Amino acid sequence: MSPKVENGKLFRQLVVPEVYRSDVMKLAHESLMAGHMATRRTVYRVLSEFYWPGVESDVKRYCQSCDICQRTVPKGKQVRAPLGKTPIIDVPFRRVAVDIVGPLVPVTDKGNRYILTLVDYATRYPEGVALPSIETERVAEALIDIFCRG
């Protein structure tokens, strides 16, 4: 889109309605000509034609959640932590690992943006719960649901 003059006003960017933003980010990041560029270049590409409030944080979140980028982009030089002694856990639910994945883009049909994950150390049993937000109350309710099943 080239700059346009209408009624004496110069327009350089098109303001994108919320419903089309994920399409714009997908084209700017994933299209054949975009080639899964990093966040900074994708933001520059979007802003060259479009604008919306929070565009930079939206593009950053979109690029960080890109499945192809997560699988292929090297993650800088990782410093290995020294290994320590870990006790063997043989009683279920004596120790669990809990983590939250997200925010995911696009949001699911039910409005979920995060996944609460839990893995039992003894049995390696995994559990995942979709969450719309990571507010304390929602996470606590999900954990109670997992631990208190009848």
- Domain with residue 105: its CATH number is 3.30.420.10
Domain boundary among 32, 56, 72: 72
pTM strictly above 0.85? no
Give pLDDT tens digits for 8-64: 777 678 889 999 999 999 999 987 777 888 889 999 889 888 899 999 999 999 988
List the domain range (segments joined by +) for residue 67.
4-72
Rounded to whole angstroms, what are the CA distances from 87 to 99, 121, 124? 21, 10, 15
Give pLDDT tens digits for 75-116: 666 677 788 887 888 898 899 999 999 888 888 889 999 999
Domain count, the chain: 2
